[in-house]
A and B are shown apart, each in its own frame.
Chain A
Amino acid sequence: MIKLLVDNWSAFISGFGWTVLSSLLALFFSLIIGSLFAILEVMPSKVARVIGNVYVEVFRNIPLLVITMFFYLVIPLYVVKINGFTAGTIGLTIYTSAFIAETVRSGINSVDDGQMEAARAQGMTFWQAMKNVVLPQAFKLVIPPLGNQFINLVKNSSVLAFVAGFDLMYQGNAIASTTFETVNTYVVVGLFYLVITLPISYYMQHLERKLA
């Protein structure tokens, strides 16, 4: 197994790098998009709430693979040529943003209503009150579930392998099919994923226990 790791070191590391990059990009954009839709879901306007709700329910209930393959196949056909990495990261972002929206919304809901009312009574607009008063408190509450979403995101980034996204899973398959050392390759790939996910998972369990 060590020989396999040494022989294919650069392939594993480049796959690992693309997996991390894709996960971080998707995390960044899905935090922004997810928070926006979470705010839409709690806005006074009914139209905004419906839009937020539809987005969240639609993308939460469709497999990530369907979303990713759609972008991989359809965008190049009608809009612009993109590679598997880009298509995969877009798919990951949209899928994850729906889950983050749901998480952030539950955080906003658990902030006392009085906070928003008091801020509005002070003369703040809805957006000012949201940004300066409610969201900072909401985010503190949802850090552990957001951490779990990030773990899911890293694991889900393996769908990039379906669209030739250069990621860890994709490199692993390439190595497995050239060396025929299937078991060892998949064990090494698994260890690389665990390097990211296991520490975050233990840290989040620790945080949850501390906050509880």
Chain B
Amino acid sequence: MQNWIDAYSWINIRFLLQGLGITILISVISVVLSFIFGSILGIIRYAKIPYFSKIIGFIIDVIRNLPLLLIIFFTYFGLPAFGFKPDTIPAAILAMTVFESMMIAEIIRSGILAVDVGQMEASRAMGMKMGQAMWHVVLPQAYKKMIPALVSQFISLIKDTSLATIIVVPELMQHGQVVYGQNPNYIIPVFVAMAIMYFVVCYALSLLSKVIDRRMA
């Protein structure tokens, strides 16, 4: 019992919460960037531009099918060979953005495919250009359908930031390791605390997604 009380001293808890803050910061920045790049890539793949869309599609498939951990290693240890040496937090954000953009690109593409073709055809028949029809008619409907998939991707992203501990990004998992590193008796209490913190954030998001989904339907 004393171990739990000691492990949960305010200093330790505050340190874990700071880690959680960094976790959320990295996740939010990465998800915003990935949403932008993912949308662009997804539309390019959907648009079937000769050769270009095929090449982009292949790159998306390759990166999507690699472990994120490998991309993190490559960003932090491989990129310096090309003369670019990012700091730990930017490296984590870069790696997450590259990986998540590809995941989101696929979600966007299948979301657009799920919108009835008639919508695009009708807009074109009204005299809209392809880009206008996409922006004003197809995308708003596609995004609505994609909300559950996008939120669950965001939840994965939050969980995946824990992998960045390997390049010593000061996020929740890394701060947890620092705390239980002081005393082996802290291992279980710290893991319970970390699990609760991740769970609260991720579960709250999944509930939110259910609420949005129900309201839209």
Contacts and interface: CB of A to CB of B under 8 A. Distances in A.
B153 interface: no
B70 A189 contact: yes
B191 A193 contact: no
Interface stretch (A31-39, A67-75, A106-114, A132-140): A67-75
Given A182-B78, A190-B70, A201-B61, A74 B187 contact: yes
Nearest to A198: B65
A201 B160 contact: no
Contacts of B206: 57, 61
Interface string B181-203: 00010011001001100110011
B105 interface: no
Contact of A155 (B67, B78, B180): B67
B123 interface: no
A66 interface: yes
A113 to B, nearest CB: 21
B159 A62 contact: yes
B77 interface: yes
Contacts of A73: 180, 187, 191
A159 B166 CA distance: 10
A161 B69 contact: yes
B118 to A, nearest CB: 18
Contacts of B159: 61-64
B216 interface: no
A189 B166 CA distance: 17
Interface string B27-62: 000000000000000000000000000000000011
A193 B65 contact: yes
A70 B162 CA distance: 13
Given A65-B162, A65-B165, A173-B73, A194 B66 contact: yes
Nearest to B195: A62
Q: Is the interface on chain B under 10, 10 to 19, 20 to 34, or 35 or more residues? A: 35 or more
A190 B78 CA distance: 13
Contact of B61 (A69, A156, A198): A198
Nearest to A185: B78
A97 interface: no
A64 B25 CA distance: 20
B134 interface: no
B173 interface: yes
B20 to A, nearest CB: 12
Contacts of B68: 155
Contacts of A169: 67, 69-70, 73
A186 interface: yes
Interface string A69-101: 110011001000000000000000000000000
Interface in B142-194: 155, 159-160, 162-163, 165-166, 173, 180, 184, 187-188, 191, 194
9 contacts: A60-B202, A63-B159, A66-B195, A70-B195, A172-B70, A183-B81, A193-B65, A193-B70, A198-B65
List the 10 closest pairs (A to B, CB-CB), nearest first. Answer: A197-B65, A61-B202, A158-B67, A63-B159, A63-B162, A155-B67, A158-B69, A65-B162, A183-B78, A186-B74
Interface of B: 61-62, 64-70, 73-74, 77-78, 80-82, 155, 159-160, 162-163, 165-166, 173, 180, 184, 187-188, 191, 194-195, 198-199, 202-203, 206
Given A64-B159, A201-B61, 9 more contacts: A61-B203, A62-B202, A74-B187, A158-B69, A161-B69, A186-B77, A186-B78, A194-B66, A198-B61
Interface of A: 57-58, 60-66, 69-70, 73-74, 77, 151, 155-159, 161-162, 169, 172-173, 176, 182-183, 186, 189-190, 193-194, 197-198, 201-202
